[in-house]
A = this chain, B = another copy of it.
């Protein structure tokens, strides 16, 4: 966690530093990201970073947690209960995700790139934890839907929960493979991941829902 020194830093400077590191970690993997580069660009001393954070991983984790919290303010603003069925809620999650992306492009890019950090031993645990959290969340929803008699009950909840999680990541992955989005370029241009791609995103979401609905519904 960051030191008091960092937290006392003053809005302006703190944001400037945070954003520089967000950008670095959004462009590079954890291991490739260079603190030396960032401080050079920021025009501050290397040692300062180590007055603000324990080490590279501490800084990285801080960014993960703050970004996560920001995103949670969006996707956590609604509950599954308020929707006619699970799929309406599932769909809404992507709309909120789009909104988060549009209003917090840097944080969105950072979280996007996070998915590519599975490998680094240093952040592997952190990533696994985040994934498990998400998978468990979907698992709970699946259990709820089964309870309500809306989802089939002849398969392990874990399988269905994991599948839902994977559907979410597949959607963004497919858009990338099919060159609809290009995070590498859009971060350079300082624009959101899904800039101008709202329709394409939601169309893809709808396609995926249409596809997998029969797999889950009773």
Contact = CB atoms under 8 A, between A and B. Distances in A.
Q: Give how many copies assemble into the complex.
A: 2
A155 B214 contact: no
A182 interface: no
Contact of A174 (B120, B154, B158, B214): B158
A207 B156 contact: yes
A166 interface: yes
B155 A211 contact: yes
Contacts of A207: 155-156, 159
B31 A131 contact: no
Range for the number of chain A residues in contact with chain B: 35 or more
Contact of A211 (B160, B170, B213): B160
A132 interface: yes
A66 interface: no
Nearest to A31: B31
Nearest to A30: B119
Nearest to A212: B215
